[in-house]
Chains A and B, each alone.
Chain A
Amino acid sequence: MKILVCVKQVPHKDARLEISSDETWIQDESIKFEINAYDTYALEEALRIKDAGEAEVVILSIGPDRAIQALRTALGMGADRAILVWDDALAGTDSLGIAKALAAVAKAEQPDLILTGLMADDTNYSLTPPMLAELTQLPHVTAVVKETQQNGDIVAERELEGGALEVVKLPRPCLLSIQTGMNDVRYASLKGIMQAKKKPLETKSLADLGLQASDVAPKVTLEKIFLPPRGKGAEIVEGSIDEIATQVVTKIKELGLL
């Protein structure tokens, strides 16, 4: 079985973010990056399937050179090989452009299962996984919190609003986008880290994928990002700890938040 795991490198959760001077992204020259948290659960799930039987885990990422670090992290955790796609034309693309590039690799690799995170911590769109599934004509479900293999099918549990779960069944090959908290993500072992540097890591351009810049030209363009002005009307609650607690609970109930 071959599992393709799509990972995105995003700013580190501890990085101090500042909006860039052209107001279309953050200043990302000197900040730390890491693998998108959602994707780490997808990777862990793939590694668990591999541990339980025979599977090749292939990591796929789109990003500039710095994203190699994310691929090495994944290889260190136990993935078998990695593919990095980059091209200047991808810098300003939209979700569909990304999905097209991912789909080109997926078509060449023909995996039995594609796992992605539910969304990316930085852009928050949740669009790429369903688009990738559509472009590769694979059945897919989102927000998966549990997955089991059943005679070539996959039985997945999905999270619904309000804590309810639903169980769905779909045939392989298929795509699952993974919700956080699905599993306990492993740490790399020192041995894993040392093996990572010997594992294959391919880089591909758009041309290598048979795509042109026009194929990934964005239809949605980012105009501006900004922080909303601070809200007004903070209320200071005073009194003993018990009084404060009672007042806060009453307030929350009044506002219908509970």
Chain B
Amino acid sequence: MMGCMDFSLGPELEHIREEATKLAGGFSDEYWRDKDERKQFPWEFYNAFAEQGWIGIAIPERYEGAGLGVMAAGVLLQAVAQSGGAMNAASTLHLSIFGMGPVVHHGSEEMKQRYLPPTARGELHVSFGVTEDDAGTDTSRIRTFAEPDGDGFVINGKKVWNTKAQQAQKILLLTRTTPREECEKPLDGMTLFLADLDPAHCEIREIPKIARNAVNSNEVYIRDLRVGPEDVVGEVGRGFRCLLDGINPERIMLAAEAVGIGRRALEVATAYAKERIVFDRPIGANQAIAHPLADCHSELEAADLLWQKAAWVYDQGDIAGGEANIAKLRAAEAGFRACDQALQTLGGFGYANEFNVGRYWGEARLMRLAPISQEMARNYIAERVLGLPRSY
């Protein structure tokens, strides 16, 4: 048939999904609930995936990775999120998967040879240091500054929300090297470093947060942290540009995860709606319970196609900005709504930790805030896809 689209994943991606599902299936909801309640990093889970080579899925084969694209990584992360591990499980892995994107695309050969193989093997953990308290979404306002010193730099400043900083040996650190006022464009004058998260110069304070508590997010206070010229990712003054290579894959993978969490919640909810008898019949026989679940299912299916399309566009060599933001926007809504509806379906029991949907709900909620808020995703679509005037 001419021009006929193939919506199947194909044998290799199916195989990836099957094996990732099997491996993640060894970690139960009880495991995740326990890790979450005790705020413990899920090492057993992480090591199981590292041992089988999954961490290097998107790292080029030259550097001991598997050299696969965003589509394959999305399939992996969706399977992991859908296993019941939700965002806890996915964030354990995904930072190592897309976090090193700027190094893959812009790092020097020496940097790649030194840091990509241990990342692929799962030995090197890297935190992502972009967000700052006073800058927020307006990244041009960051104040962490790298002052030239000899042939290197000395960095001072503060980052916030640095996920996995407690496990990471390295941090991808966005700094200013020229004050904003002195730059032609607000996003010029920034430099990205792959710096040591050296405890002598980086104080890490965990941020207590409402969910996804097996994986920590932190404040990082940086005092006189020395970096060498070899630690610059890309070029001095062009750091923001390097970051762009990480953010679209990140949005696409997050969208895949959101659909995974939503599907898990929906599975729990439908099973419950079939079995829970109130007023002498299963609650699922009431359309007020059944129809919202049908809506959630159809929204998740739609979002699933969106992230796959975005991944396909990106893997074809396009930056996929529009597609990535569209997928992230829709998937975050669909994923959260499915979790919320699951909670509603379970009634009071949905509110009990034992039934897990509360955990999915709290973690899916994060998808509407990070790595980009829904508002900023909409801003992107309005301006860059629809060509509307910039509102801010």
Chain A interface (Cβ < 8 Å from any Cβ of B): 68-69, 72-73, 76, 187-191, 193-194, 196-197
Contact = CB atoms under 8 A, between A and B. Distances in A.
Nearest to A68: B11
Contacts of A194: 12, 66, 68
B274 to A, nearest CB: 11
B339 interface: no
Contacts of B22: 187
A188 B48 CA distance: 11
Nearest to B26: A187
Contact of A187 (B15, B16, B52, B57): B52
7 A-B pairs with the lowest CB-CB distances in the bound complex, closest first:
A190-B53, A189-B52, A188-B19, A189-B53, A187-B23, A190-B66, A191-B53
A229 B11 CA distance: 41
A198 to B, nearest CB: 11
Nearest to B56: A190
10 contacts: A69-B11, A73-B15, A73-B18, A187-B52, A188-B15, A190-B16, A190-B56, A191-B53, A193-B16, A197-B12
Contacts of A188: 15, 19, 52
A110 B52 CA distance: 33
A69 to B, nearest CB: 7
A196 B18 CA distance: 14
A232 B56 CA distance: 56
A153 B51 CA distance: 34
Contacts of A68: 11
Nearest to A77: B19
A69 B18 CA distance: 10
B287 to A, nearest CB: 23
Nearest to B53: A190
Contacts of B12: 193-194, 197
A193 B16 CA distance: 7
A142 to B, nearest CB: 27
B53 A196 contact: no
A69 B10 CA distance: 11
B30 interface: no
B53 A197 contact: no
Interface string B6-21: 0000011011101100
B53 to A, nearest CB: 4
Contacts of B14: 69
Nearest to B51: A189
A69 B11 CA distance: 8
B54 A196 contact: no
With a 10 A CB-CB cut-off, give which of A68, A69, A189, A196 has the most chain B CB atoms. Answer: A189
Contacts of A190: 16, 19, 52-54, 56-57, 66
Given A188-B19, A190-B52, 5 more contacts: A73-B15, A189-B52, A190-B16, A193-B12, A193-B15
B15 A196 contact: yes
Contacts of A193: 12, 15-16, 19
Interface string B210-229: 00000000000000000000
Contact of A197 (B11, B18, B66): B11
Interface in B153-199: none
